[in-house]
């Protein structure tokens, strides 16, 4: 694993208990674009605010990177995230599979796009809504 990716993985795993501002500034460029299935965030300050809100009620969140494809300044990562959040499954851990595309410039991430099933992470783990989503998926 490259030192850039090692630093990135260490950073994302430190976010729930660390200084989000300082940690994100270590790996992301000022003009970063971050995209996930729910949001698109432009700029490091906005990304720090976004992650601060995300981790506000998070008990724990860890990523295990299982596969990396690297080409020049671009990386694709396959990962498993284990998340414990106060509002999901009464805080019990849930695991979500996903992938990230990272583009670096001057050793900082300038583009970060995440791909994962938001239903698996969120909708299926919210009381009442979760059973409806699971029922719909079983009918497909």
Identify the three-state secondary structure at position 39: coil
**Token pair of 92, please?**
């019990």
Structural domain total, the chain: 1
Q: Which domain holds residue 47?
A: 3-115
Q: What is the pTM of this model?
A: 0.83
- For 64-105, the pLDDT digits (tens) are 999 999 998 899 999 999 988 777 767 788 889 999 999 999
**Token pair of 4, please?**
């850039």
Tell me whether residue 131 is in a domain.
no
Tell me whether residue 88 is in a domain.
yes
- How far apart (Å, rounded) are the C-alpha atoms in residues 92 and 12? 20
**Token pair of 98, please?**
């996903």
Greater confidence, 54 or 87? 54
Residue located via tokens 């698996």: 120
The separation between CA 32 and the C-alpha centre of its own chain, rounded to angstroms, equals: 15
CATH number (domain holding residue 92):
3.10.450.50
Tell me whether residue 50 is in a domain.
yes
């Amino acid at each position: 694993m490259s030192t850039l990716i090692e630093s990135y993985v260490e950073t994302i795993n430190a976010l729930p208990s660390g200084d989000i501002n300082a940690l994100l500034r270590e790996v992301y460029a000022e003009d970063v674009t971050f995209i996930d299935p729910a949001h698109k965030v432009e700029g490091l300050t906005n990304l720090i605010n976004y992650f601060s809100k995300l981790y506000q009620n998070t008990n724990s969140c860890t990523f295990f990177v299982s596969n990396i494809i690297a080409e020049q300044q671009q990386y694709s990562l396959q990962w498993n995230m284990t998340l414990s959040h106060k509002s999901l499954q009464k805080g019990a851990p849930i695991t979500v599979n996903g992938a990230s595309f990272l583009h670096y410039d001057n050793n900082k991430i300038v583009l970060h796009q995440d791909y994962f099933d938001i239903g698996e992470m969120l909708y299926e783990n919210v009381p009442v809504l979760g059973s409806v989503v699971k029922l719909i998926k079983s009918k497909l």
